[in-house]
Amino acid sequence: MVPIQMVDLKRQYTKIKSQVDAAIGEVLDSSAFINGDAVQKFSSELQSYLNVKHVIPCANGTDALQIAMMALGLEPGDEVITPSFTFIATAEVIALLQLKPVFVDVDPQTYCVDVAAIEKAITPKTKAIVPVHLYGHVTDMEPLMALAAKHKLYVIEDNAQAIGADYTFSDGTKKKAGAIGHIGCTSFFPSKNLGCYGDGGAIFTNDDELAAKIRMVANHGQSARYYHDVVGCNSRLDSVQAAVLRIKLPLLDEYITARRAVADAYDAAFADMPQITTPYRAPYSYHVFHQYTLQLDGADRNELQKYLAEKEVPAMIYYPVPAHRQKMFEHFGGAAFNLPVTDSLTTKVISLPIHTEMDPDQLEHIIQSVKSFLK
């Protein structure tokens, strides 16, 4: 059996090696390493895929979130509501810009932000909401957008884990995750469902004025070369990474289908095991399974992780310390936030390998290893 990886990037690359190598070779031959033709074409192709007016590539997903907040003109002390159960970058950039992160709890089924909890946290200082489409499941965006409109708040979607996912509105219309809020942000970190071979990110919006501000902020605040209208930063997706992403974007739906097939197999295998809660799939969300995350009850997830390692099965515990309990947020009153669902989940969840190259024998070995531990 081929050794099991959480994400098998080498085998994925092997399947597209000739196309990727040729695309990178074209960039090297052109020597247009920054803002080259590959970057422009990828932006246009991603716009079409997401059905969004503007895609502005940048250096990474964290920059995408920071640039989005800078473009909105938020002021120090403004409050930004976000879940605590997420990768630290979501909240880190809020504090970096001297804004105040306000942490709220998540839905116990989807692990995405609880819209009712957001409403209770809104104050006169609240200016924005950052929902996180965690593990590949889309936040319930329809009521969230209605709430934001009611209170005149911006919505910045953290879509680092759910690119390609669909959200279905109550009238049956569908939109891609990241293309629903005022701004969407994503990461192209190699392990993402759409990943490059280094760092990369992008920002999405349907607002022409916001798009112009985002482009300006990402390029040293320039409105024209050497004319700097606002304080900005330097954040670009390089041409080599764009070339890789151009090869992988047409395969994204195929990659998602492969991930969902693995998730289906896990769901079926663990359906009769009371210690396991498998990932919930809300009817409004087309789950793209960036991670396959189990919730354990009556079993020690650290012991399971250790046991699986002995069976040569990697397993990851993502976000064991939620953002509101991190030392970096103590001065915001972090631990004073009452987030019982978040605190519970961070002691119970564990993620199993899921990727596009999973073999049937690998999948069966993982399943039997989990079952043998729990039985």
Residues annotated as catalytic are 192
Position of tokens 């395969």?
Answer: 251
Position of tokens 């409004």?
Answer: 284
Q: Give the DSSP H or E segment for 96.
A: helix 89-96
Q: Which of 370, 340, 358 is nearest to 106 (CA)?
A: 340
- Distance in angstroms (rounded) separating the CA atoms of residues 77 and 332: 11
Residues in contact with 206: Cβ distance below 8 Å, sequence separation at least 6, in sequence order? 52, 53, 54, 179
Residue by residue, DSSP assigns 5-59 as -SS-HHHHHHHTHHHHHHHHHHHHHHT--BS-HHHHHHHHHHHHHHT-SEEEEES
Distances 110 to 133, 139, 200, 277 between C-alpha atoms, Å: 9, 8, 27, 11
Is 136 in contact with 355 (CB distance < 8 Å)? no
- Distance in angstroms (rounded) separating the CA atoms of residues 246 and 19: 10
- Distance in angstroms (rounded) separating the CA atoms of residues 69 and 54: 17
Q: Which of 226, 181, 179 is nearest to 72 (CA)?
A: 181
- Distance in angstroms (rounded) separating the CA atoms of residues 174 and 299: 39
Q: Which of 363, 371, 365, 367 is nearest to 262 (CA)?
A: 363
- Distance in angstroms (rounded) separating the CA atoms of residues 235 and 187: 13
DSSP-based three-state secondary structure for 172? coil
Is 63 in contact with 57 (CB distance < 8 Å)? no
